Amino acid sequence: MRRPLWFAFLLHRVSGLLLALFLPVHFWVLSLAVRDADALESFLSLTERPLVKLAEMGLVFLLAVHIFGGLRLMALELLGWSSGQKTAAAGAVALSLGAATLFLLRAI
């Protein structure tokens, strides 16, 4: 686990898996908007809870990590190996955490 690029690969795979697991829940909530507006309002009232806001931050983090990880992979395929990839991978995680934190701060 001492290899940062292996960690970046693992983080990209895990974030993709967790986002894929989230999609059915997202589609279910969207279906509530079409089928039952009262159920949707009831569900959306849960989003005011601090734990849900923290979970939303985690979701934004996963999405940002997955996007930046995908960009890193595309750069690796198109540009070849460079010595700055470890820095780019760490920067991608930092940008993802920053985006998720900004989302959380705006949601509070």
Give the residue ranges of the annotated binding site for heme: 66
Residue 90 CA to residue 93 CA, distance in Å, equals 5
The backbone region for 74, taken as left when phi is positive above 0, alpha when psi lies in -120 to 50, beta otherwise, is: alpha
| Residues that constitute the known binding site | 66
Using alpha carbons only, how large is the chain's radius of gyration in Å? 17
